[in-house]
Structure 1
């Protein structure tokens, strides 16, 4: 990886962390520059449109990371119930991990929906791609396209709710409940 690419990735990594722990609006460009160690000129070289462009790059980074994780999980299971249960439990293992703060696009979507159409669209694109992975997998396993798309949407709706509840209660049992109810969810959508 080139030095320019390292600088760009450092800015994105720092922004993801700050957006997660402080929020998009509370995070300033100067803090991103300082915490990433990037020269100010580098930030504007890589992100000439400023913080919004950094946020979109952060969302795209997370989108790609999650896509890889979901593809790996789905390809590891023949049974759709086991695959979805594994996804719920995988997210549960990460949501309260103090050692590695994960950037949740749901937070930035909620915070920025009224102020940035571009950020909203980037978040929408990420969710769409993630849901498509699950729906395509379910179609391969014999589900109708309509049922697969509804199930994939329901999985992400439930997962976002479980993340919020787990963080609020500091308890991942909400994900365990989802894993237990997965056969019912897949059978009845």
Structure 2
């Protein structure tokens, strides 16, 4: 595949990632993707012989890896776990508000829609969630938390921000994220 083909494929992955985040798996179609990328329908199957599911999987991995790189950056620069978590929630709030409440978690809608009905896609969503959990677990262990506590705190954080993103999107308000951020900070306050 030439440079133009690689660029077209990457553009399709990135556009699909955005469509999945805003509309979900069921509402995102090949025609819409073609309109957004300026590519004919046949291009999808040329670049992604596995069709929509293959493209969805790559888009989910792209989104998940991008967000994970952000998490790693914040964690590396933060002075403490409490500061890191505050920054993560603040960035999530800025992202959802600046998108007019169209963007939340890049994979949540697709994960919910495909769970039990499209196992290949659902499994990739689970992989991404596992990646995020592992990133936070590793960071917390490096900061002196036990493996078990790091695992529990990471799962609690993910649950807090996923629920808060959903409620913020539904209510078109940053308040759920702000409350979740304050709750998350309490998990890391010294006794």
Q: What TM-score do you get using the length of structure 1 for normalisation?
A: 0.91
Aligned residue pairs: how many?
188
CA separation in 1, counterparts of 2:184 and 2:60?
28
- Structure 1: gaps of 5 or more residues: none
CA separation in 1, counterparts of 2:170 and 2:117?
25
Of residues 138, 141, 151, the one that matches 2:140 is 138
CA separation in 1, counterparts of 2:173 and 2:84?
22
2:97 paired residue number: 96
Aligned residue runs from structure 1 range 121-136, under 5 A: 121-136=123-138
Of residues 153, 178, 181, the one that matches 1:176 is 178
The Cα of 1:187 is off from its aligned counterpart by: 5.2
- Structure 2: gaps of 5 or more residues: none
Question: Residues 9-60 of structure 1, C-alpha deviation per residue, up to 9 Å, x if partnerless?
Answer: 2211222233233331122222212321123333212210111111101100
User: 45-54 or 1-10: which moved more?
Assistant: 1-10
User: In the alignment, is the contact (CA less than 8 A) between 2:17 and 2:62 conserved in 1?
Assistant: no
Aligned residue runs from structure 1 range 21-170, under 5 A: 21-98=22-99, 102=103, 104-170=106-172
1:9 paired residue number: 10
Question: Residues 81-122 of structure 1, C-alpha deviation per residue, up to 9 Å, x if partnerless?
Answer: 111111111111111222795462010011111221111110
User: 136-145 or 108-117: which moved more?
Assistant: 108-117
The Cα of 1:179 is off from its aligned counterpart by: 2.4
Q: Residue 109 of structure 2: SS of its match in structure 1?
A: helix
User: In the alignment, is the contact (CA less than 8 A) between 2:85 and 2:185 conserved in 1?
Assistant: no
User: In the alignment, is the contact (CA less than 8 A) between 1:29 and 1:50 conserved in 2?
Assistant: no
User: 171-180 or 157-166: which moved more?
Assistant: 171-180
The Cα of 1:143 is off from its aligned counterpart by: 0.1
Superposed CA RMSD: 2.0
CA separation in 2, counterparts of 1:100 and 1:41?
33
Q: Residue 179 of structure 1: SS of its match in structure 2?
A: helix
